[in-house]
Amino acid sequence: MDESYDVIVLGTGLTECILSGLLSVEGKKVLHMDRNDYYGGESASLNLTQLYRKFRPDQQPPSQFGRDRDWNVDLIPKFAMASGEFTNILYHTDVTRYLEFRQIAGSYVYRDGRISKVPSNQTEAVSSPLMGIFEKRRAKKFFEFVQGYDFNNPATHQGLDLNTVPMTEVYKKFGLEPGTQDFVGHALALHLDDSYMTQPAKETYERICLYMNSMARYGKSPYIYPLYGLGELPQGFARLSAIYGGTYMLNKKVDELVYEDGKIVGVKSEGEVAKTKAVIGDPSYFPDKVKKTGQVVRAICILNHPIPNTADADSIQIVIPQKQVNRGHDIYIAAVSYAHNVAAKDYWTAIVSTIVETSDPEKELQPAMALLGPIAEKFISVSDLYEPVADGRADGVYITKSYDATSHFETTCQDVKDVYKRVTGNDLKVEGKVKKQEEGGAGAE
Ligand SMILES: *[C@@H]1O[C@H](CO)[C@@H](O)[C@H](O)[C@H]1NC(C)=O
């Protein structure tokens, strides 16, 4: 340990592991430490025994749930957009060689008390039960506009320059109802709130295109998910880092961060100091450098049936747009099953999450819980959300954000890109594939 590193990474949550993987690939000398004896930190996947130990230490898992090793329950469920930035990072770094991904069978949205598939093009809009007959026609025109839009060809603009007009103008032009705006903004464009409405429409347009392109990739939904659960991801990036000379140490307590003239110069652990120019880590390692921004409530639910009204989907994301249930934050359901090797045969896990708004967080999940049918077992947790108070450029300590309530990777990727830029000074570029044979050098393909 008495060595010198370019970067020391603290915590093996997914965000930290992606960063250490990316930096290792670029030739940085990386040391990665975690105080736990397992990978994943807050974003770990647990087997049944570990799950009960965490939430019900006084209970054994009931035998009806079958073999321990069949379960990999994500504490923080996330799906990846098939054509999104996260998938690009996986291909770019070649982490895909350690993992197998499968598509998520459905992407649904809640409107007027029922759930239905999120329509993603004009054909689907016309057949969607989410809209009445006249609204279907308006939505069809909207989707045709989005698909035909070309920034370089004003003939496709229908008088709307998406670089400048706000999204409200686009909705107005096509006469879309508030309930349709809800699913376009929250289930297709995956916005977290409605502030996008008054912003230039370009970003929303790009997000809708990302959804459509991801959808076109596999067909059933825009989302993919790794077999055996998300816990595979930190380990995949750890193996990647190791190939490029990175060092991983689990079960390693951090005693002290060592500074000189206000700049980080090392991390002390078990009496030894590892020297470094920069430290990256999750908020739990820096209690005095982060602020609490809110709380997220999650319910991990075990079901012995698919979620009702989802055509027996083996896996699904359901978004409940905030306004549909008079809230200020969306509620997300991410369900996976034995089809992804994360539960025993004929079992599903559905994780429901949202940002806490009241003093009774569990009750806030009710509109989502009511969609699940009978629940065999549930584990509720409320976690604090933290983010750094400073960008890290002054002291060389770069802190990631806690995982929010979303059930997709878009915000996590945003954080990866943000920290990457703060640490390296460059924008993250993930084009092409870097490849390294065990004996050879790195190069772009
Ligand atoms: C609309 O989406 C569905 C499902 O992805 C696809 O089968 C169909 O071909 C698409 N239609 C058009 C016109 O893009």
Quick one: 395 and 277 in the same domain? yes
| Ligand 1 contacts CB of residue 123 (under 6 A) | yes
pLDDT at residue 433, as a whole number: 78
Q: Which domain holds residue 214?
A: 119-218
Phi, psi of 129 (to 5 degrees): -70, 0
Asked if the structure places residue 223 within a domain, the reply is: no
Ligand 1 midpoint to CA 216 (Å): 7
- Report the SS3 class of residue 340: helix
Quick check: 224 pLDDT over 90?
yes
Closest CA to 148 of 134, 135, 162, 137: 162
Residues 180 and 240 in one domain: no
Listed in sequence order, the residues at least 6 apart from 359 whose beta carbon sits closer than 8 Å to its beta carbon are none
Let me know whether 254 and 342 are in one domain: no
Q: In this structure, which residue's CA is closest to atom 7 in ligand 1?
A: 219
315 and 401 share one domain:
no
Same structural domain, 88 and 197: no
Looking at per-residue pLDDT, the higher value among 434 and 169 belongs to 169
Q: Which atom of ligand 1 is nearest to the CA of 122?
A: 13
Burial status of residue 409 (CB atoms within 10 A of its CB: 0-12, 13-18, 19 or more): buried
Is the CB of residue 93 less than 8 Å from the CB of residue 420?
Answer: no
Assigned domain for 198 exists: yes
> Is residue 412 included in any domain, yes or no?
yes
Percent share of the chain, pLDDT over 90: 91
The pLDDT tens digits of the residues spanning 38-86 come to 999 988 999 999 999 999 999 999 999 999 999 999 999 899 999 998 9
CATH number of the CATH domain containing 69: 3.30.519.10
Residues 63 and 228: their CA atoms lie apart, in Å, by 21
Beta bridge partners of 279: 8, 397
Residue 151 CB partners (closer than 8 Å, separation 6+): 162, 163
Domain CATH code at residue 267 = 3.50.50.60
Q: Is 431 a domain residue?
A: no
Is residue 236 a contact partner of residue 243, using CB atoms and an 8 Å limit? no
Residues 32 and 80 grouped into a single domain = no
Give 232-284 pLDDT, tens digit per residue: 999 999 999 999 999 999 999 999 999 999 999 999 999 999 999 999 999 99
- Alpha-carbon distance 401 to 43, whole Å? 12
pLDDT of 153 strictly over 80? yes
- Whether 109 is in the pocket of ligand 1, judged by its Cβ within 6 Å, is no
| C-beta atoms surrounding 371 within 10 Å | 21
pLDDT in tens, 288-332: 999 999 999 999 999 999 999 999 999 999 999 999 999 999 999
Residues 175 and 239 in one domain: no
User: So what's the pLDDT on residue 440?
Assistant: 42
> Which amino acid is residue 27, in one-letter code?
G
Report the nearest-CA residue for atom 1 of ligand 1.
121
Instruction: Give the per-residue pLDDT at 437.
Output: 53
Counted domains in the chain: 3
Asked whether the beta carbons of 256 and 318 are under 8 A apart, the reply is no
Q: Could you tell me if residue 331 is inside a domain?
A: yes
CA distance readout (Å), 246 to 21, 25, 122, 238, 278: 8, 9, 48, 8, 15
Same structural domain, 123 and 213:
yes
Same domain membership, residue 207 and residue 130: yes
- By alpha-carbon position, which residue is closest to atom 13 of ligand 1? 123
441 pLDDT higher than 50: no
Residue 49 lies in a domain: no
Does the residue 282 lie in any domain?
yes
State residue 442's pLDDT score: 45
Asked whether residue 123 falls in the same domain as residue 214, the answer is yes
- Look up the CATH number of the domain holding residue 208: 1.10.405.10
Q: Which of 332, 355, 385 is the last residue of a domain?
A: 385
- CA 162 centroid distance within chain: 27
Examine the pLDDT at 436 and tell me if it is beyond 80.
Answer: no
Tell me the Ramachandran region of residue 9: left when phi exceeds 0, alpha when psi lies from -120 to 50, beta otherwise. beta
Element (H, E) at 170: helix 167-174
> Which single residue is written with the structure tokens 């409405």?
197
Answer yes or no: do 137 and 185 share one domain: yes
| Mean pLDDT for the chain overall | 94
Residue 414 Cβ inside 6 Å of ligand 1? The answer reads: no
- Residue among 333, 341, 263 nearest 47 (CA): 341
User: What are the residues facing 314 on neighbouring strands?
Assistant: none
Query: How many angstroms is it from 22 CA to the middle of ligand 1?
Result: 35
Are 127 and 179 contained in the same domain? yes
190 lines ligand 1 (CB under 6 A): no
Closest ligand 1 atom number to CA of residue 121: 1
Q: Is the CB of 284 under 6 A from ligand 1?
A: no
Ligand 1 geometric centre to CA of 307 (Å): 24
